[in-house]
């Protein structure tokens, strides 16, 4: 099949490429909206059931007081965002939240900590949490900042499935957003994570005042990583008062949908997450994102420190759109949630 902007796709699969040029990615962004949506849908259906949405729940296990200066982040100690900081939670507190997330229908539990890079002793504490989450029959993901190779190994040995570490934006504007570490630090951590045999969860944030060409640059860099990330979270900036990016001009919603569609085209087998920012989106915009190839969400009333749609609202949206939780193999031979014809959105609450 020939697809404008992608060339000839053979058989039932689109090509997995790691050699995208900026001009090629930009050309996809510039397609007429109906063409871009059709192509994204076509590629999505080659690799996924378009009804199936992977469901993750986030928990902030250590909140605020972060020494970094990420201009978007309410957890940076240097910005006055009124956030109530808390120390690392206990394993028992994490088990309680993970149990509730599983009961509500999540298949992956993601633990986030406001660290620049954890100390070895902190990684050991998180490793205990990972073991406990895995024992509940959930996939485990953590996002703790920069990791050494040994730290990534420790987390892998504890049973961690995914490590989230975002590129956040295009390399050429990274230095305008974060000054306390550089792009190469992020690439190095991703290398340690891959070398340890962990799956990567890696994406970025749009709506930080970047241009379309710079959004193309973020997605180009993600797609040209040595392996496509298993999960690609596309966050729309959640504007928090007190952060330098508060007051940034809002991104055209259709441009956000285009970003999802291009991510789907560049990384055909990756799960693309409609990530932060859903609480500020209409249900119609979210539906367009699913049509553009998004097939994952954060589920539960809170992200790390900011709001997310209510569980009941998400269940109702799934029902109205005919979406179902994605089947996920947690352990060999164990299937968490089934995508069957009679699976209903209330399976989220099963």
> Between 14 and 63, whose beta carbon lies closer to ligand DTB?
63
* Residue 319 contacts which entry, ligand SAM, ligand DTB, ligand SF4, none (Cβ below 5-8 A, type-dependent): none
Distance in angstroms (rounded) separating the CA atoms of residues 299 and 302: 8
Query: C-alpha distances in angstroms, 318 versus 31, 299, 323?
Result: 29, 12, 5
Tell me how far, at minimum, the Cβ of 349 lies from ligand SAM, in Å. 27
Distance in angstroms (rounded) separating the CA atoms of residues 86 and 81: 14
> Between 74 and 268, whose beta carbon lies closer to ligand DTB?
74
Q: What are phi and psi of 170, to 5 degrees?
A: -70, 150
How many residues bind ligand SAM (CB under 6 A)? The answer is 18
One of 55, 193, 274, 304 touching ligand SAM (CB under 6 A): 304
Exactly one of 108, 141, 215, 278 is catalytic; which is it? 141
Q: Which residues bind ligand DTB (CB under 6 A)?
A: 58, 74, 112, 143, 164, 166, 203, 233, 235, 238, 275-276, 303-306
Helix axis angle for 33-47 and 253-266, nearest 10°, is 40
* Residue 305 contacts which entry, ligand SAM, ligand SF4, ligand DTB, none (Cβ below 5-8 A, type-dependent): ligand DTB
Q: How many CB atoms lie within 10 A of CB 279?
A: 15
Tell me how far, at minimum, the Cβ of 218 lies from ligand SF4, in Å. 16
Exactly one of 273, 278, 289, 348 is catalytic; which is it? 273
* Residue 76 contacts which entry, ligand SAM, ligand SF4, ligand DTB, none (Cβ below 5-8 A, type-dependent): ligand SF4
What DSSP string runs through 291-314? HTT--EEE-SSBSSSSB---HHHH
Contacts of ligand SF4 in 90-129 (CB under 6 A): 114, 116
Q: Is 201 a catalytic residue?
A: yes
Q: Is 110 a catalytic residue?
A: yes
Which H or E run includes 131? helix 120-135
245 in contact with ligand SF4 (CB under 6 A): no
Contacts of ligand SAM in 62-101 (CB under 6 A): 72-73, 75
Q: How far is CA 319 from the centre of its chain?
A: 23
Q: Is 70 a catalytic residue?
A: yes
> With the CA atoms of 41, 42, 48 and 51 taken in that order, what torsion angle do they form, in degrees rounded to the nearest 10?
40
Give the N- to C-terminal CA distance of the chain in Å, as an integer: 40
- Residues binding ligand SF4 (CB under 6 A): 66, 68, 70, 73, 75-76, 114, 116, 145
């Amino acid at each position: 099949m020939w697809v404008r902007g992608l060339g000839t796709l053979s058989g039932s699969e689109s090509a997995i490429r790691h050699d995208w040029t900026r001009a090629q990615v930009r050309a996809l962004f510039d397609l007429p909206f109906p063409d871009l949506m059709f192509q994204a849908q076509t590629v999505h259906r080659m690799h996924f059931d378009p009804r199936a949405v992977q469901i993750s729940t986030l928990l902030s296990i250590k909140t605020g007081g972060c020494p970094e200066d990420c201009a978007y982040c309410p957890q940076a100690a240097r910005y006055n965002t009124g956030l109530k900081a808390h120390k690392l939670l206990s394993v028992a507190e994490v088990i309680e939240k993970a149990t509730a997330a599983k009961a509500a229908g999540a298949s992956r539990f993601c633990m986030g900590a406001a660290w620049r890079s954890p100390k070895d002793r902190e990684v050991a504490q998180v490793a205990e949490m990972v073991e406990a989450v895995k024992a509940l029959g959930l996939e485990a993901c953590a996002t703790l900042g920069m990791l050494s190779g040994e730290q990534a190994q420790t987390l892998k040995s504890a049973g961690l499935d995914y490590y989230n570490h975002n590129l956040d934006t295009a390399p050429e504007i990274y230095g305008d957003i974060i000054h306390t570490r550089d792009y190469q630090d992020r690439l190095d951590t991703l290398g340690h994570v891959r070398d340890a045999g962990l799956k990567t969860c890696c994406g970025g944030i749009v709506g930080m005042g970047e241009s379309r060409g710079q959004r193309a640059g973020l997605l180009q860099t993600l797609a040209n990583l040595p392996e496509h990330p298993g999960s690609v979270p596309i966050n729309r900036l959640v504007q928090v008062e007190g952060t330098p990016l508060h007051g940034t001009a809002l991104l055209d919603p259709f441009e956000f949908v285009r970003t999802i569609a291009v991510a789907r085209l560049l990384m055909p087998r990756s799960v693309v997450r409609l990530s932060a920012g859903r609480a500020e989106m209409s249900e119609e915009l979210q539906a367009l994102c699913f049509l553009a190839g998004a097939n994952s969400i954060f589920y539960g009333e809170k992200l790390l420190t900011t709001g997310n749609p209510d569980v009941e609202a998400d269940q109702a949206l799934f029902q109205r759109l005919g979406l179902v939780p994605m089947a996920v193999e947690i352990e060999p031979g164990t299937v968490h949630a089934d995508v069957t014809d009679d699976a209903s959105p209330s399976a989220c609450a099963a």
